Structures are given as structure tokens and as C-alpha cells.
Amino acid sequence: MISARFLVLVGESLPLRRALVSSRNAWFHSSFHCKGQVETRNGSLSLSSIGFKSEIEPKDKVQSDKVVKPLGSSSESVKKKGKIGVINEKKAVQVRQKQSAEFAPFAANSFSELGVPQVLIERLENVGFNVPTDVQSAAIPTILKNHDVIIQSYTGSGKTLAYLLPILSAIGPLRNRDLEGNGGDGGKNGGVEAVVVAPSRELGMQIVREFEKILGMENKKVVQQLVGGANRTRQEEALKKNKPAIVVGTPGKIAELSASGKLRTHGCRYLVLDEVDELLSFNFREDMHRIIDHVGRRAGAGADPSSKRIERQLIMVSATVPFSVVRAARSWGREPLLVQAKNVVPLESIPPPKPVILSESSSGPSSKPTMPSQASVESLPPGLKHYYSVARLQHKVDTLRKCIHALDAKYVIAFMNHTKQLKDVVFKLEARGMKAAELHGDLGKLARSTTLKKFKNGEVRVLVTNELSARGLDVPECDLVVNIGLPTDSTHYAHRAGRTGRLGRKGTVLTICEEPELFVVKKMQKQLGIPIACCDFTDGKLLVTKEEKTLSTST
């Protein structure tokens, strides 16, 4: 049997693709392979300029804003695109002018300042969350004002809570009742009110735990996990019985349940795409089509004027935001804003990346290569130290071990590119008395969660893993990340590195490369705009042998 996904894969080079992919999908496709990065310094908004505090809009206005620009068919949006682009650009210039005059720092001293209801604040205090992080200070009021957003901030800066709190402020048992009436089924008709999509099972499970932390175990059924590999019937029965207001899952599972009619999402009010740049990758294309086209979009609304079209609020999240994400947000969202730790800017103000100038002879300002790298220094936690060490392939594990001893690292994540090699590294480390375990997607669900649990509770000192663990994995104690196999690009480097140095902690990243791989390290250093110092391990100490000063972000 040939699956639809396979047909699309084959169809990449066939006319068949046209028949399979609608014009909306064709746009979607274009967003999948675009490389580039957001220009982040195009002005910023203060809390008041997005309508928070001093400029609170009447509720009706917010409501009407939500329905003014329904997502039409893609052909409609493509037709209107040029015109809207010009209008938006004008608007963006006006906003930028306004911003420069009234910029105010976002950092808030408390969650109550941000409009989070008291009942949620009490829950936050119970788990020791008293002060919002910068990105939470910027994102929470913006989302509470019903704006579609891209949240971009470095790894471990608290992006999950930045969208979770506004969602729980509006739906579920701890909601602020004043925010009711913004549409949605309210879970009453069995429809969910928030869908959170994450690229991996582990990340999905982690997000569920973050929801549960705030909701408390008594409200456990408000949120349900929908991931592959779990018991399918049990998940479907739980959906039917518990009628969760929030579901968190992987694209495949959500798309499958939505297509079978077991997951009703048409009245959904929030669609969150966590690690959105990963979700836009080719692997998830088919499932993401389904999700974008169905979640929070009510069929037949156009034909019957009395049936109100309920639009979802779109929240996209990642530490790395290439321009393909900006384009996706512009197409699927309504006047989306880019939210960063100290900035909120309209997406219209972000110019597309400039093409790379390849000619060596060209000179002058206009010929400078301006294409930004995939990930930038803003994707990385500020407390990280980056090193590389040159070693032969057969000595890489030995270098890893020396580094762990030199730094006395307790929670180490070692990344490799090939699953088959993980076991060998674990074997070599254990042979030298160092507790290690492998983690990868081929392991069963139980083995994966047991290994993670052992790592988190300190039973396992070195977690040897592949790209599976690069995104989202939150082990706050992790103090060392080692690249035994080199990351393929700066985006992968940033997400791997971000497993350490979380939420203001210190962390070290070591890349162990062979002599011929050195240029990859240099390239990433340049793309990310960070110094990666050359080091060696002598007498149980890390010695810097060469300081790097190259900080150019040009590629």
C-alpha cells in the first residue's frame, strides 16, 4: 500500500504533486526549505503600545480583531498578499516610529503585573516560580491581548510557561472568568480548546508535565498527551471520557486523531507550535497541513452568516527562528508579532534575508554578505562557555572522559549523529567506571522514559544520545554538553548546546573534532557569533590553548 506521504515524497519531482498539493499547500511547501534568519532589531514595542496597561482596548474591539481577518483559502491570501504587504509595511513604519519614542523594558517583578490571575499565581508560588523571566514578561501580556505571536528566546529561558500561563488564564479550571466568552466550545461539546504540537514524544510529555505542575494533580484530566507509541485505544477512550480542554502531542498523532474524527478541534482557541522550525521540516509536512487547516477553523462558516467563525490564536515558539517561520506566521496568523525577551515587533517589520553575494570581486557596503546564519547568538543562553578539542576518532571517548573529570561534570549529555555508535560509547565509558546510558528513538517508550528518569535523578552520569534529545529536553542540572559527532549546522549546535546553562545557570559545551572537521567548528563559530576556544586536557585540567576572537555573524 502506498501511503499519501510516500506519494507526496515521490511527487516532489512529478506533475502528480500538483494534483496532491493545493495552492495553500504549495505555499506551505515554500516555507519548508527556506533558510535565513529573522532580523531582530527592527524596533520594539512597549507594553502600552501593544495595548497592555495604559492602552487597554475594549473587549469588543479585541473580539472583532479576532474575526476581521479570517484565514481564507491560500489562493485568496496569495492574491491579497501584495496589497496587504504594502499596507502592513506602512503600518510597520508607523509602529516603528512610535516604538522608538516609548520603548520601555519589559522585565516585570511579578506575574500579577502581567495579568496572570491570582489562582495561577498561587500555583506558581507553590512550585517556586515567583518572578517571570524576560521572555515571559514580554509574551504573557501579548498573548493575553489575543495577538498571534512567534516567541523567540534562547534555550532554557522559560518559553513553555510563556504560552502556558496565558492559555491557563483563559481556559480550564484555573481560568480568569473575565476572559470567558472569547469563543470556543469550552470543552462542553467534546471539542478541545488548546492544541499544543511538539516534534517529539519526549518534548510532548515534558510540556504535559509543565501543565500538570501548575494545574495540580486534581486537574490532571484537563490536559491529555497524544503521542505515538502509546496505547492507541486508551488514548482514544480517555479523549472521549475526560473531554480534555488541552491536548499536547506530536503532529502524526494529532493529525491522525483529527482525521478520524476522534479529536474535535474546530472550536479550538489556541494552536501552539512548539519548536516550530522543526515542525516545518519536511518530515512533518503532511500532518502539519492537516493541523493548520483544521485546528480552530470551522467549516462552512462562510456559507452561513449566522454561524460564527471561531479563529484560533496562533503561537509559534522556538529558540531558532529562520525566515521560513516568519513567512509561515504571516500566512497563517493575523498580524502576528515577534516576541523576544526585550522586544515585541510586528512581523511586517522584518525584511526577508538578503541573498548571499558570491562574487569575490564585488565590494562596498551593498555587496556585503548579509544573509544571516540559521541560528545566532540570541539562541544561546548567555552563561555558556564554548570549547573545542581536536582528537582522533578512536580517542574521542577518551577526550570526553577527560573533560568530564577536568570539569567534575555531574550531568553530561553527549551527542552523536548515528544511533549505532551510541552503544559503543556507553560500553567504553562504563568500562572505565563511568555510569552511562543511551537514549534514541529506536528504544521503546518505557526504556526511553526509564533512561531519562535515571539521568535526571543522577543514577546515570552520561546520557549518550542523538538529535532526539537536542530540542526541548529540560534537565536543569545538566552542566556539560559534548558533541562527539559534530552538529550539522549552527541551528543544531544551538539546540544541543542549550541543554546546559538553563535558566541562568552556568554550562560548558565541548565539541570534539578531528583535524579535518575543524573547519565546521570555525564555520559555526562565525555563524553564531561566539568564541569557541581551543582546549586540551592535561593533568586533569582543562587548558585553553588558543583563544578565539572571531565574532563575525556574517556567513
Ligand X SMILES: Nc1ncnc2c1ncn2[C@@H]1O[C@H](COP(=O)(O)OP(=O)(O)OP(=O)(O)O)[C@@H](O)[C@H]1O
Strand partners, 414: 464, 482
Closest CA to 145 of 313, 2, 351, 378: 313
Q: Report the helix count and the strand count for the chain, using DSSP H and E.
A: 19, 16
Interaction of residue 132 with ligand X, rule CB under 6 A:
yes
Give the list of residues 6+ apart from residue 492 with CB closer than 8 angstroms, or none.
467, 470
Q: Which residue lies nearer to ligand X by CB, 170 or 497?
A: 497
Least distance (Å) from ligand X to the CB of residue 156? 5
| Cα dihedral: 264, 152, 456, 490 (round 10) | 120
Give the list of residues 6+ apart from residue 273 with CB closer than 8 angstroms, or none.
197, 279, 314, 315, 316, 317
Closest CA to 389 of 381, 405, 400: 400
Look at the block and give the residue holding cell 570534539: 512
Contact flags string 414-453 toward ligand X, x per CB under 6 A? ----------------------------------------
Q: Which residue lies nearer to ligand X by CB, 140 or 245?
A: 140
Least distance (Å) from ligand X to the CB of residue 474? 4
Cell digits of residue 141: 501580556
- Scanning 112-120, 130-138, 173-181, 353-361 for contacts with ligand X by CB under 6 A, the matching segment is 130-138
**Strand, coil or helix: 19:** helix
- Scanning 189-197, 306-314, 399-407, 497-505 for contacts with ligand X by CB under 6 A, the matching segment is 497-505
Interaction of residue 503 with ligand X, rule CB under 6 A:
yes
Helices (H), 336-444: 396-407, 419-431
CA angle at residue 371 from 366 to 372, to 5 degrees?
130
Least distance (Å) from ligand X to the CB of residue 466? 17
Q: Which residue lies nearer to ligand X by CB, 86 or 119?
A: 119
Give just the sign of the alpha carbon dihedral 23, 28, 32, 38.
positive
Q: Which of 372, 498, 507, 529 forms a contact with ligand X (CB under 6 A)?
A: 498
Q: Which residue lies nearer to ligand X by CB, 155 or 466?
A: 155
Q: Which residue lies nearer to ligand X by CB, 286 or 474?
A: 474
Q: Which residue lies nearer to ligand X by CB, 108 or 434?
A: 108
Least distance (Å) from ligand X to the CB of residue 123? 12
Q: Which of 27, 28, 129, 388 forms a contact with ligand X (CB under 6 A)?
A: 129
- Scanning 124-132, 180-188, 362-370, 443-451 for contacts with ligand X by CB under 6 A, the matching segment is 124-132
Task: Give 399-426 as a DSSP string.
Answer: HHHHHHHHHT-SSEEEE-S-HHHHHHHH
Q: Which residue lies nearer to ligand X by CB, 46 or 153?
A: 153
Is residue 106 within 8 A of residue 135, CB to CB? The reply is no
Least distance (Å) from ligand X to the CB of residue 388? 22
Q: Which of 502, 520, 529, 537 forms a contact with ligand X (CB under 6 A)?
A: 502
d(CA 257, CA 263): 5
State the number of CA atoms in the 13 A half-sphere of 491 facing the CB. 17
| Cα dihedral: 75, 339, 294, 250 (round 10) | 130
Interaction of residue 382 with ligand X, rule CB under 6 A:
no
Least distance (Å) from ligand X to the CB of residue 384? 12
Q: Which residue lies nearer to ligand X by CB, 159 or 253?
A: 159
Q: Which residue lies nearer to ligand X by CB, 314 or 425?
A: 314
- Scanning 131-139, 220-228, 363-371, 438-446 for contacts with ligand X by CB under 6 A, the matching segment is 131-139
Binding residue count for ligand X, defined by CB under 6 A: 20
Is residue 196 within 8 A of residue 205, CB to CB? The reply is no
| Cα dihedral: 412, 385, 415, 135 (round 10) | 90
125-to-117, 132, 148, 212, 544 alpha-carbon distances in Å? 13, 11, 28, 14, 42
d(CA 545, CA 548): 10
Q: Which residue lies nearer to ligand X by CB, 191 or 322?
A: 322
Look at the block and give the residue holding cell 522550525: 277
Rounded to 5 degrees, what are φ and ψ at 355? -65, 150
Which residues in the 467-496 window bind ligand X by CB under 6 A? 472, 474, 476
Is residue 521 within 8 A of residue 532, CB to CB? The reply is yes
375-to-171, 250, 272, 345, 394 alpha-carbon distances in Å? 34, 24, 21, 19, 30
Q: Which residue lies nearer to ligand X by CB, 296 or 472?
A: 472
Contact flags string 147-186 toward ligand X, x per CB under 6 A? ------x-xxxxxxx-------------------------
Q: Which of 46, 77, 99, 133 forms a contact with ligand X (CB under 6 A)?
A: 133
Q: Which residue lies nearer to ligand X by CB, 348 or 474?
A: 474
Least distance (Å) from ligand X to the CB of residue 350? 20
Least distance (Å) from ligand X to the CB of residue 160? 3
Q: Which residue lies nearer to ligand X by CB, 131 or 543?
A: 131
Contact flags string 311-330 toward ligand X, x per CB under 6 A? --------x-----------
Least distance (Å) from ligand X to the CB of residue 4? 31
Binding site for ligand X (CB under 6 A): 129, 131-133, 136, 153, 155-161, 319, 472, 474, 476, 498, 502-503
